[in-house]
């Protein structure tokens, strides 16, 4: 298999496909390749849309890939769009790999429809934040698998999660690939097991697409690196123990999410991969030059930035709360993120102030993560708050408080977005680069597993 040739052949996608476009493409593929491809409906979304499993016959081993594990993450949907067609077209590749491939293009279609406002561009942080939606933790398909760990107990998966469980149970996949992506930064990986033969390849593939490894702060303080930008896959039990070690008596009381697909698939010894890539990057995301700022001070500054954003939203939310009339996914998401943010941040603050690994100079990449990437992600909560008020107004809520706070929130979102964009030398990464990155990393992993 010539991975570099595959990398060069990725189409130059200009937009992200909508849920309906992805579904239509599935059916066209099966019509074109009826002897190789098939579709089976394996469930329904919470709003009643069919959940389709696309299968490409190819060999005795089983691989399961699903896109949109969070509905603000459509890169994986495009990766499946490309890879499923490429596998149908290339019989020799199917035979060489030896897998039967199972795909769900968008596992949270209901949530993804709420993101389609930015799928056609313009691809800027401000437009992304304006149309962003990510579910509350207890409504995230990827994080509501059954669990029974200390006081964290749940066996009430969402319909979409049940569909994932069904496919995992039926296929017992050798390779499970949850197609996540990040928002701002560089490329980094999560794997279920230490896999040193893959690390050089994982470090090389981003270069083919002019992408940078993310060598700044990990997205979670407890992430354990196997190699630069390659981490052990985190679990909800890891987070539970981290919270408990850092002052939370009963973490289950604040943990909306439960187990993940990776945790569920351990019963079948599935190898699990996540490749996190951003929509936007900046030259500083992998700059290892040391600064004069302590890493500890940089992280605490980041927490202060997050706290200021959250306090503003909380204060404004309290002003309008009595006038709100809708119980929408956007409102539930906003309330959940605000609640979780404050409680998790206190546990992280205790860790930062006591951990020896934070008592050293920060690199430029780490400083960038703390001072700029954190601001990007806090814009998203501000965007959710604005959307919540937009929905109220669209449904006819004429309360003057709603109107005035919406104007204030929209104004702040614009000002903060423009200020951040003006301070950054950022670019919107071509979609083909992101699709190619996920595709090549996945094919490299599938080959590695066959050679173990």
Overall average pLDDT of the 308-335 stretch: 96
Judgement on whether residues 419 and 442 belong to the same structural domain of the protein? no
- Looking at the structure, tell me whether residues 133 and 257 fall in a common domain: yes
Tell me the chain's radius of gyration from C-alpha atoms: 22
Alpha carbons 76 and 99: distance in angstroms, whole number = 19
What CATH number does the domain containing 217 carry? 3.40.630.10
Distance of alpha carbon 311 from alpha carbon 308, whole angstroms = 5
What pTM value is reported for the model?
A: 0.96
The model's pLDDT over 262-306, given as tens digits with 9 standing for 90+, comes to 999 999 999 999 999 999 999 999 999 999 999 999 999 999 988
Residue 155: closest CA among 170, 163, 145, 164 = 145
- Do 118 and 135 belong to one domain? yes
Residue 346 has pLDDT above 90, yes or no: no
Residue 301 and residue 344 in one domain: yes
Cis amide prior to 122 (ω within 30 degrees): yes
Tokens read off for 419: 């200020």
Q: Looking at the structure, do residues 261 and 322 belong to the same domain, yes or no?
A: no
Same domain membership, residue 383 and residue 260: no
- Domain hosting 421: range is 289-425
CB 415 within 8 A of CB 180: no
267 shares its domain with 383: no
CA–CA gap between residue 318 and residue 313 (Å, rounded) = 8
The CA distance from 331 to 308, in Å, is 20
> Going by DSSP bridges, is the β-strand pair 175-179/271-276 parallel, antiparallel, or unpaired?
parallel
Q: What is the pLDDT of residue 221?
A: 84
- Residue 342's pLDDT band (cuts 50, 70, 90): low
Same domain membership, residue 435 and residue 344: no
140 vs 345: CA distance, rounded Å: 21
Are residue 128 and residue 240 in the same domain, yes or no? yes
- In this predicted structure, the answer to whether residue 130 has a pLDDT above a threshold of 70 is yes
Same domain, 92 and 149: yes
Dist CA 380 CA 420 (whole Å): 13
- The neighbour count for residue 425, using CB atoms within 10 Å, is 8
Mean pLDDT across the stretch 237-257?
Answer: 93
Tens digit of each residue's pLDDT (9 = 90 or more) over 186-229? 999 999 999 999 999 999 999 999 999 999 999 988 899 999 99
d(CA 107, CA 248) in angstroms, rounded, equals 33
Outline where 90-158 has alpha helix (H).
Answer: 91-97, 109-113, 125-130
d(CA 281, CA 146): 35
Does one domain contain both 93 and 129?
A: yes
Sign, CA torsion 228/231/232/238: positive
Contact between residue 174 and residue 271 where contact means Cβ atoms under 8 Å apart: yes
Per DSSP, 239 falls in state: H
How many separate domains does the chain show?
2
Q: Which residues contact 111 (CB under 8 A, 6 or more apart)?
A: 68, 70, 71, 72, 133, 134, 135, 139, 329
Beta carbons of 134 and 380 less than 8 angstroms apart: yes
pLDDT at 211: 98
**pLDDT score, position 339:** 79
Answer yes or no: do 294 and 256 share one domain.
Answer: no
> Does residue 343 surpass a pLDDT of 80?
no
Q: Give the pLDDT score at 348.
A: 86
Closest CA to 331 of 54, 114, 150: 114
- Please state whether beta strands 99-104 and 61-67 pair in parallel, antiparallel, or not at all (unpaired): parallel
Over the stretch 408-452, which tens digit does the pLDDT of each residue have? Answer: 999 999 999 999 999 999 999 999 999 999 999 999 999 999 988
Where does the pLDDT of residue 341 fall: very low under 50, low under 70, confident under 90, or very high at 90 and above? low
């Amino acid at each position: 298999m010539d991975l570099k040739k595959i990398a060069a052949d990725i189409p130059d996608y200009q937009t992200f496909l909508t849920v309906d476009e992805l579904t239509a493409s599935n059916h066209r593929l099966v019509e074109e390749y009826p002897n190789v491809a098939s579709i089976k409906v394996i469930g329904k979304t919470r709003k009643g849309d069919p959940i389709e499993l696309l299968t490409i016959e190819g060999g005795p081993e089983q691989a399961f890939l699903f896109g949109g594990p969070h509905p603000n993450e459509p890169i994986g949907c495009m990766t499946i769009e490309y890879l499923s067609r490429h596998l149908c077209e290339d019989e020799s590749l199917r035979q060489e790999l030896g897998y039967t491939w199972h795909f769900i293009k968008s596992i949270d279609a209901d949530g993804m429809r709420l993101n389609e406002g930015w799928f056609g561009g313009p691809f800027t942080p401000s437009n992304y934040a304006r149309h962003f939606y990510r579910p509350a933790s207890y409504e995230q398909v990827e994080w509501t698998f059954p669990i029974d760990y200390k006081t964290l107990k749940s066996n009430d998966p969402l319909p979409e999660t049940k569909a994932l469980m069904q496919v995992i149970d039926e296929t017992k996949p050798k390779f499970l690939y949850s197609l996540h992506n990040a928002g701002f930064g560089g490329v980094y990986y999560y794997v279920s097991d230490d896999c040193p033969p893959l690390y050089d390849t994982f470090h090389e593939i981003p270069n083919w697409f002019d992408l940078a490894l993310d060598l700044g702060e990990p997205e979670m303080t407890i992430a354990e690196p196997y190699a630069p930008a390659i981490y052990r896959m985190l679990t909800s039990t890891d987070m539970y123990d981290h919270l408990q070690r850092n002052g939370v008596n009963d973490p289950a009381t604040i943990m909306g999410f439960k187990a993940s697909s990776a945790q569920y698939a351990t019963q079948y010894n599935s190898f699990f991969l996540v490749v996190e890539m951003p929509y936007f990057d900046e030259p500083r995301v992998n700059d290892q030059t040391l600064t004069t700022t302590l890493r500890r001070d940089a992280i605490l500054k980041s927490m202060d930035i997050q706290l200021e954003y959250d306090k503003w939203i909380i204060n404004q939310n309290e002003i309008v709360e009595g006038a709100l009339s809708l119980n929408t996914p956007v409102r539930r998401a906003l309330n959940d993120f605000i609640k979780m943010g404050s409680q998790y941040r206190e546990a992280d603050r205790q860790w930062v102030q006591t951990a020896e690994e934070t008592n050293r100079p920060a690199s430029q990449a780490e400083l960038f993560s703390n001072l700029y990437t954190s601001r990007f992600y806090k814009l998203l909560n501000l965007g959710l708050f604005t959307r919540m008020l937009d929905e109220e107004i669209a449904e006819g809520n004429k309360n003057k408080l709603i109107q005035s706070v919406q104007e204030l929130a929209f104004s702040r979102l614009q000002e903060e977005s423009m200020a951040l964009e003006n301070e950054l030398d950022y670019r919107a990464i071509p979609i083909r680069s992101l699709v190619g990155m996920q595709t090549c990393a996945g094919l490299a992993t599938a080959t590695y597993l066959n050679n173990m």
